Structure 1
C-alpha cells in the first residue's frame, strides 16, 4: 500500500462550543510558475487520485488533436468538458445538443446515470415519474468530450477502456503536465480511468495551466483555452449553490476552481501564475471546501468577508431549531 511519507497536517476544524470537536487533516501544495512547491502542508509527495479535479487535463487531447475545432466547439463546450455539473437543464440541454450535433445520442455515453445533484431538477424528475439518464451524470460533459475525441480518432465505442486511444491520449497528457510517470490508475465513478500522481505533480500541472497562454504551442494554447472557459462559465463547471461556481464568482481576480471526489480540490490562478492542489485525508468535502477557500484568502484572491467565502470558511453550524452550535474553520496557520 502506498502511504504518505509525512503525516497529513490539520487543515479544517469543526468547532462546537469551546473546542474543536473534529479535525480534517490532509495535504496541500501551492506551486509557482516554475512548477516548484513554494508552500506545503502535510506531504507533497503523497500519491493521490485527483478524481474530477483532473478533468481539464483529460480535456487537453480534445483540443490538441483538432477534434474540438473539427466539431466547432466553443467555450461553453470546453467548460462542460471540465465540469462536474449538477444535472440542471442548463447543463443537460447543452450536452444533449453537443452530442446530437455529432450524430450521437445518450446511449453512446459510458458514464452511467444518477439523480441530478440540483435539488429542483431532481424533484421535477420525481414528480414527472421520469428516471435520470446519462445526461444527468455530473461527468456527462467530460464524456461528451471523450465522444468527440473518439469520433475524431476513429476508435471503438468503449472509449472508457484504459487501453482505448482516448484514454491513452489522456494518460500521455496527464504524465506530461504532472511531469511524473503515473504509477497506476483506478476506475472513477463515471467508469473512466483516473490516474495516480503525487500531490506535487498535481500542483505542478495546475501551475502549468496557470502560466499557459493562448497562442503559444499547441498544448499551452489548449490549457489556456480550457482554463479560460472555466473562468468564463462558472455556472457550467458546477452549478448554482456549488462551491466551484460560488467561489469563482467571488474571487477578486480570474481563478479556475475544480472539486474532486474524496476531498480533492484544485485552484488555478493565472494572474499570479500559481497552482494549488488539496487532498483531505478522510475524503471530507467540507474539509476540502474550507481549505481551498482559506488558501485563496491567504493569497489575496478572495476577500475573507465575502458571503461565499464565509459559506465555506467559518461557516456557522446550526441545529434543527436554528440554534448556532459551532462553526467550520480553517486550521490555525492556514490563513497565516
Structure 2
C-alpha cells in the first residue's frame, strides 16, 4: 500500500489546522527520479494532467497539419479551460471548420467557470453547451484525429482508432503498461499509471528534441504551444495560467482533477508530477508552486507565487487569520 507524506499545511493562528498528504517527484531527461516525496509507485489516475499525452496522436497522425491547426489549437487540445469566450469561440470555430456541431461532442455540457460567461448564461436564461466543457479542446482534438483517420462518430469509445492511438502513446511515454482505464469527467478514457510513470513522461516531454522523430517533434510542438498560450490552457486567476506567466523561464503546467498536477521545464530538462491524496486543489496549487521554486524557475516572492504558496487565509472581514504553505521539506 502506498504511503503519502505531508505536502501542504493549513495554518490558523499558531497551529496547523489541516494537513494535506500526497506524493510528488521530480524526474530528469532519462526518466530517473531526482527527488521524491511519498511513494513513486503509487497507482493513480492522472486525469487532465495527461492531456498533452493524449494530444500526441493529433500531431503524430498528421491530422494537425492536414487541417491547418495553429499553436492556439494545440494549446486548447491540452487545456482544461474555464469556458471564457476566448476559449469557446476558438473551439467552436475549430469544430465548425471540421464540419461538426456542438451535438457531435461527447464531453457533455458544463457551466463555465469564467464569471463573465457564467453571468451571461444566467442573465439570458441560457443553458451551457458542450463547447463550454473544460475539456472541449481535447475533444476537438479527438474529433480531428477521428476525421483524419476515418473513424466513427463515437470517438471516445476505447476501441476507436483515436483512443487506441492515445493508449499506445500513454504506455510508451510513461514507460510502463497501464493496468486499465476509467471514464474521465468528460467521458473520455483516462489511463491508470504510477507516479513514477507520469514523472518519467514529463521528464521525456521536457527533453524532447524537435526533428528527432515524429513523437519528439509532436511533444516539442505541444509544450511550446502551452507555453506560448498560457491563457488558453486554463484561464485568468487559474494556477496553470498564472504560474506559467510568473516563471522566469519557459515551463508548461497542467492541472488535473482530484489534486493532480504536472510540470514540464525544458531548459532544466525536468518533469514534475504530484498527487494530493484527498483531491484538494488548494494543496495541489501550493505544492506545484513550491516545486517550481525548488527547481529554480519561480521566484517565491512573485505575486502569483504568493497567491498559491504561503498565501494568506482571510476571514469574511478580510482579516488575515492563517496561511496555506508547503511543508518545509519541499523547500529545504
Shared topology, TM-score over 0.5? yes
Structure 1 residue 213: Cα displacement: 2.1
1:139 alignment partner in structure 2: 135
Task: Tell me how far apart the structure 2 counterparts of residues 215 and 41 of structure 1 sit (CA, whole Å).
Answer: 35
CA distance in 2, matches of 1:96, 1:187: 24
| Partner SS, residue 130 of structure 1 | coil
- Pick the aligned partner of 1:215 from 208, 211, 214: 211
The equivalences for 1:150-299 within 5 A come to 150-299=146-295
Q: 2:28 maps to which residue? A: 32
CA distance in 1 between counterparts of 2:126 and 2:163 reads: 32
Equivalent-residue separation in structure 2 for 1:215 and 1:127 (angstroms):
50
Deviations 1:162-198 (A, max 9, x none): 1111111100000000000000111100000100000
**Quick check: 1:43 aligned with 2:30?**
no
Q: Which consecutive unaligned segments of at least 5 residues does structure 1 have?
A: none
Q: Which runs of 4+ in 1 moved over 4 A?
A: none
For residue 225 of structure 1, give the secondary structure of its aligned residue in structure 2.
Answer: helix
Alignment map for 1:51-200 (pairs within 5 Å): 51-200=47-196
Equivalenced residue count is 332
Match of 2:19 in 1: 23
Separation in structure 2 between the aligned mates of residue 335 and residue 160 of structure 1, nearest angstrom: 41
CA distance in 1, matches of 2:151, 2:183: 20
SS of structure 2 residue aligned to 1:85: coil
**How far did residue 119 of structure 1 move?**
1.4
Using the size of structure 2 for normalisation, the TM-score is 0.99
1:70 Cα offset (Å): 0.5
Cα deviation for residue 129 of structure 1 reads 1.3
What is the TM-score when the length of structure 1 is the normalising length? 0.98
What are the ranges of 5 or more consecutive residues in structure 2 without an aligned counterpart? Answer: none
In structure 2, C-alpha distance between the alignment counterparts of 1:307 and 1:113, rounded to whole Å: 34
2:329 is paired with a residue whose SS is coil
Secondary structure, in 3 states, of the residue corresponding to 2:236? coil
CA-to-aligned-CA distance 1:148-175 (integer Å, 9 cap, x gap): 0000111111111111111111000000
- Cα displacement string for residues 105-161 of structure 1 (whole angstroms, at most 9, x for unaligned residues): 111100001100111210111101111000000000000000000001111111111
